[in-house]
Structure 1
Amino acid sequence: MALGPQHVLSFSPDGKLFAFINDQGILRIWDTETNELKQEYTPNLQLSGPCTALTWVIVASSSCELTEGRKSKKARKSHTGLTKDSEANYLALGTSNGHISLYSYALGKIERTLKGEGHSGKITCLTQDDKGNLYSCGEDCQILVWSLSDEKQLSSWSVGTEKPYSIVYTKKSNNIIVGGRQIKVYSVASQELVQTFTGHTSDINLMSSLVLDDSVEYILSTSRMDRIICLWNVGKKGRNKSAACTLLMEDVAHCLTSHVDNESNLRVASVTRSGVIHMYLIAADNVKAEKPIKPKLTIKLASDSTTVIAPIPVVSVSLQHNYRPQELIFGYGSSSFLVFERLTPNFEEKLQVLIRTDPKSLYLTQGKASKKDAKLGVAQKTVTPIVNEADVNYKSSVTVSRKKLKAFEMPMESRLQNLNINAIPGGGAPQAQSKVQLLVQALHSKDNVLLRSVLHTHDIKTIQLTLLKLPVHYVGPLVNELTQFMQQKRMNVEYAVDWLKILVQTHSSQLMALGSEDLLNKFGPCIGIIEHRVNCLKELSKVAGRLDLLINQIKRNTNEDNLYTANALVYEDNDSSDSEVEDAGEKSSPDDEWDEDPEDIVENMDQDGEDNDDSENETDSDAENEEEMET
């Protein structure tokens, strides 16, 4: 059986044990009668790879004795102390590497690995026949036959190009039915294709076999994307046979089981993705393909909380068990907290709602009660001794000689620091213990002023020491407060990022223990705020780049205007200036030469005027002579 794309689960044949492998590859085995987690096994992922398929197998007692002889005395002693039923229970685990290992429930570990070439891809499904052989199918489109007694691979054959995801063995006809996009029936003896059924729109992940009237064999199948269950009649040879009957569901199925009761009625139970159980009751004479059949009974679970009534999802269901087969075994809760219950279905009611306590809160209350009982037990076992003072011999204290005592002198540096008058009290780095007490008080009282005084620091060492000593149950409230800090100003965002980064590094193990759902709910708002701020970073960088270009251009223009306003360099040569002055003095005339009388100046001006008049008369006479010549 498979729950979702990554979960693998199965009930034991007697219905007393339930095996489940979660996303982390951890195998957990519960006792369905006591609701106790019996075993937990983490495989070596580097050697064997994560587990992708499992099924319960029954190994003969002879093989158990052979393997028992190989063990040490300590292991043999613990092994013989168990019951015969537990000794025969084994889990066949198929890994992503294509190999199969046998997990012993009695020893609580991988006892052996089957020898052979194995699959070239991961194993998708396993099943066992009544002869002690194991059949496996994988993504390499191959079916392999394994011998559990000889611990080796026997044979293999191909099933075409479609990847098989489920496999079922039919005892009456000795056939292997493989589910991919189609349902193909192969004969185990000849390894030939006998029948083909077509009707699903996606890959078939769940199948179950049954026999009606001790003569007719049927196959139940459902796919990953269909909300129907098809009933197929396995009989004569043929291809593309249609379904004998169709069952309707409200959602996609994650678990499927079937059983034929004493009145030869077919009982089918399925668990949908929403955690609801659908049950169908079909008479042997009413198997017709005229119209789809609706569920006879729908079972839902709800919590008994006084504040909020929330649905409790059902994880698995089983009808194929030897222990009280008329009852329905189902487990509800989550992958970490499971509770199993047996119920006799009442088909007179169409809808049945069961009020139950949430398994997670139930486990927490039981844990607190056990701790209180343990403390009371320890207190009751404590006995105060009765002392008779007459029998007590008091010894004197040991005296130490003065020679052994060493004089302690304070260094000069410490003395000078104590004499420092200007030292500010409390000016040093705050102690981590005081920060922890303040942080716990702020989270408990929800005092914003006190909380800001604690969180407003960039000292990495102080933050590390504070978070290292912070109690685990205050991690959740601190994450909520840091999320509110992320929604405020930039200064608060910087403080929140420093604290959040070191918080994830320090309490990573506690955060991983919450589970994927709780962890996503806790950090979802904070991650959304970070992504929103990161999306704005691109536009902000563009704006900052353009502003830098404008500022640089403005600075460049202002520098060009003031480029020639002042002399960059002034150089004076004293020798050249003196020589030029001397030359000018020699060439210049004395002062008396430049002084003249005003009467001389007037006479000179009159002479110049007469000369000019004579020149003008001469030019006029020349012009008259030229005119006479021309005539």
Structure 2
Amino acid sequence: MLNTMALGQQHVLSFSPDGKWFALINDQGILRLWDTETNELKQEYTPNLQLSGPCTALTWVISTAPAAESIEGKKSKKNRRSLTNTLYLALGTSNGRVSLYSFALGKIERTLKGDGHNGKVTCLVQDGEGNIYSSGEDCQILVWSLTEEKKLSSWSVGPEKPYSIVYLPISNNLIVGGRQIKVYSVATHELVQTFTGHTADINMLNSLVLGDRVEYVTSTSRMERIICLWKVGKKGRNKSAACTLLMEDVAHCVTCQVDNQGNVRVASVTRSGVIHVYLIGIESLKPEKPIKPKITIEVVSDSETVIAPIPAIAVSLNYSSQSNELIFGYGNQSFLCFERLTPNFVERHQVLIRTDPKSLYLASGKGNKKDVKTGSTQKTITPIVNEADVEYKSSTTVSKKKLKPVEMPMESRLQNLNLNAPPGSGAPQAQSKVQLLVQALHSKDNVLLCSVLHTHDIKTIQLTLHKLPVQYVGPLVNELTQFMQQKRMNVEYAVDWLKVLVQTHSSQLMALGSEDLLSKFGPCIGLIEHRVNCLNELTKIHGRLELLINQIKRNTEEDHLNSANVLVYEDNDSSDSDLEEEGEKSGSNDEWDEDIEDTEIMDQDQDGENNEGSGNEDDEEMEV
């Protein structure tokens, strides 16, 4: 089963049934087709924006109707044989229509009849009976017939918008991915089963069959770094995932396969351009423990000066000649190279050194003149200039006669020095960065955006967001949501900007309505809830660490008390000093006795004199 794989929010990509062709829709809704064997860009289709609108979804289909002969009319036998190609691309547009793109003609051959979606088409998938199922933003599933070229039926899957669908041929069910995963019966349009486990919108679904015709579905969301594997069975709600796969970043492409030994192989390409390969046995499908990748593959450039990473764009396990091979493409949306690789499960981390596809493209354009004439490659001609003869001039040329020396008086120079300015008055003031922020959001320059958002100055943030146009509030929220998934430093910056953003543009945000507001801030709320769920475990770890640290400190203090004495204090009234003083006193007792006798004699003499004096005073009183 061929499934469309989402790249970002609007871009989609897919390999052909035989893996020879690769189709991608870029940011502007332009379709591009590559040959995976020669790495050549074969076709590029720009839709009429006024009639059909940009492309939003695609899937490869095989049609047996000889439409090429009937449309072209009378042609030669050679041309009719070349146009009887049954390989088509079903394209969904932003106006809700489904069209068939002919690979042989290089244009839209026909558009399916009937009322389309009231909004853009989000995903397309084909079943084995020649029907196409499409999902749209109007929460509707439409069934289209390729043979009759018209709409057959439709049913509602709301209120959540579906972003990805996949068809299960064994059970004749259609899996719809929105905020939840819902299983619908194609025959009765009845909701059979529901899976809940993602916090953001599900943008990729893939199906596989294990064991005795047991169907499984893999899913991943826009803002999560996990891949969930679900078992589709009987009726029920809120079934848990069979297993969970961990990634280092958000997935942009997911593919799965069951090998000859019955093991499950899953490969994913993350937003950072890294390929993860998982090898899972059927007996190890356990929901308790997440599974880490068996191999991580990175592609880097072979430049002599700078070793720069080359991001991977797509990967597939279903279109290789051998069961254990994978095909992947690396580069960017304009320049791609494809390669087949047999993973080596002995090495955990593999780094592939390759040449940048852009440099290869430019080099081939310079060397081959025939390709330049046909327009298949571009050639850049650099003029040969002697730098010694070059004279650089400014945009405004002024003749030397008009230039006059400007002399500034001493008074003005002293005023410019500002010697009497109070201290602290020359501190830099907060400035608005609204122009840089608008430029970064418009050009999607990550380096410029980081230079603007990496600040904790509240005044600068307030001035910038106060002057920010309203149409850039939504893209800023998306960028801040991506910041919250990165390191702790970026999370702190994102929280500061989100606080001021909600306070500054609260009226504009409330005018969006509950649904649009939830779609904007839903991923942020999911990330915050995910981080808050880890708070209890972190608190337990913090408490245990404090207990260990306090115990270590207590043990070190006891050892310090049992060590040698730091200070010794000698008391003069101790027993040793008393013995010495007694010896000294025994030797000087005689001196103390003599002193005592002398003092007693002197006291007696003084008492006699006092008595005589008192007698004379009594005689005088008697005479008076």
The answer to whether the aligner puts 1:215 opposite 2:219 as a matched pair is no
CA pair 445-216 structure 1, distance change in 2 beyond 3 A:
farther
CA separation of 1:200 and 1:308: change in aligned 2, threshold 3 A: same
SS of 1:73's equivalent in the other structure is: coil
SS of 2:277's partner is strand
Distance 1:75 1:315, change over 3 A: farther
Q: Does 1:80 align with 2:81?
A: yes
Q: 1:451 to 1:320 in 2, by over 3 A?
A: same
- Which one-letter code corresponds to 1:340 in the other structure? F
What amino acid is the match of 1:106?
A: A
Amino acid at match of 2:149: E
SS in 1 for 2:260: coil
Secondary structure at 2:364's aligned position in 1?
helix
Instruction: Please list the CA deviations of residues 283-323 of structure 1 after superposition, one character each: whole Å capped at 9, or x if unmatched.
Output: 12211112000000000000000100000000111112264
Amino acid at match of 1:99: R
Within 2, Cα distance between the matches of 1:323 and 1:42? 33
Say whether the 8 Å CA contact 2:260–2:323 is kept in structure 1.
no
How far apart, CA to CA, are the structure 2 residues paired with 1:172 and 1:361? Answer: 47
TM-superposition CA deviations, 1:313-367 (whole Å, max 9, x none):
0011111226444311100001110000011111111111000000001111111
User: Paired residue for 1:292, among 290, 298, 304?
Assistant: 290
Q: For residues 417-432 of structure 1, what are the structure 2 equivalents within 5 Å?
A: none
Alignment match of 2:201 (pick from 200, 203, 207) = 203
2:328 counterpart residue number: 330
Q: Return the offset for 1:25.
A: 2.1
Shift in Å, 1:23: 1.5
**Residue 98 (structure 1) aligned with residue 96 (structure 2):** yes
Shift of 1:112: 0.3
1:5 maps to 9
Give the counterpart of 1:307 among 288, 305, 312: 305
TM-score when normalising by structure 1: 0.60
Q: How do residues 249-264 of structure 1 correspond to structure 2 at under 5 angstroms?
A: 249-264=247-262
**Which residue in the other structure is 2:142 paired with?**
144
- CA distance in structure 2 between the partners assigned to 1:178 and 1:243 by the alignment: 16
* Worse-superposed segment, 356-365 or 65-74: 65-74
Matched residue, 1:451: 392
The code of the aligned residue for 2:397 comes to T
Q: Is the 8 A contact 1:15 1:323 kept in 2?
A: no
Q: 2:72 corresponds to which residue?
A: 71
Q: Give the 3-state SS of the residue equivalent to 2:368 in structure 1.
A: helix
Aligned to 1:182: 180
1:445 to 1:226, Cα distance in 2 relative to 1, 3 A: farther
The alignment partner of 1:155 has SS state of strand
How far the C-alpha of 1:68 sits from its partner, in A, is 1.6
RMSD: 2.9
Give 1:27 shift.
1.1
Q: Deviations over 1:242-280 (max 9, x none)?
A: 101000000000001101111111100000000000000
**Paired position in structure 1 for 2:239:** 241
Question: How far does the alpha carbon of each residue in 1:448-490 deviate from its partner, in whole angstroms, 9 at most, with x for none?
Answer: xx313x533399xxxxxxxxxxxxxxxxxxxxxxxxxxxxxxx
Deviation at 1:519, TM superposition (A): 13
2:166 and 2:240 mapped to 1: Cα distance? 19
* 1:445–1:54 Cα change, 3 Å: farther
| DSSP-derived class of the 1:451 partner | coil
Is 1:165 aligned to residue 141 of structure 2?
no
Distance (whole Å) between structure 2 residues aligned to residue 207 and residue 446 of structure 1 = 62
2:317 is matched with which residue? 319
Question: Is the 1:14–1:323 contact (alpha carbons within 8 Å) kept by the matching residues of 2?
Answer: no
Check whether the contact 1:79–1:107 (CA below 8 A) recurs between aligned residues: no
Distance 2:171 2:49 in 1: 39
Matching residue's letter, 2:174:
I
Contact 1:206 1:256 in 2 (8 A): yes
Provide the C-alpha distance between the structure 2 equivalents of 1:519 and 1:247, rounded to a whole number of angstroms: 28
Does the aligned pair in 1 maintain the 2:57–2:91 contact within 8 Å? yes
Give the aligned residue type for 1:231: L
1:66/1:110 CA distance change after superposition, 3 Å: closer
* Equivalence for 1:50: 54
The CA distance in 2 between the partners of 1:305 and 1:341, in whole Å, is 19
For the residues of structure 2 that align with 1:25 and 1:79, how far apart are their CA atoms? Answer: 31
Give the secondary structure class of the aligned counterpart of 2:366.
helix
TM-score by length of 2: 0.60
Deviates more, 1:323-332 or 1:135-144: 323-332
1:113 corresponds, among 89, 111, 114, to 111
Q: Is the 8 A contact 1:302 1:353 kept in 2?
A: yes
For residues 27-60 of structure 1, what are the alpha-carbon distances to aligned partners after superposition, in whole Å with 9 as ceiling and x for unaligned?
A: 1100001111111111111100111100111112
Deviation at 1:134, TM superposition (A): 0.3
Give the 3 Å change call, closer, same or farther, for CA 322–342 of structure 1 in structure 2: closer
The AA in structure 1 aligned to 2:81 is: T
2:350 aligns to what?
Answer: 352
For the pair shown, the structure with the greater C-alpha radius of gyration is 1
From 35, 44, 54, the counterpart of 1:40: 44
Matched-pair contact (CA < 8 Å) for 2:208–2:256: yes
TM-superposed CA distance for 1:516, in Å, is 5.8
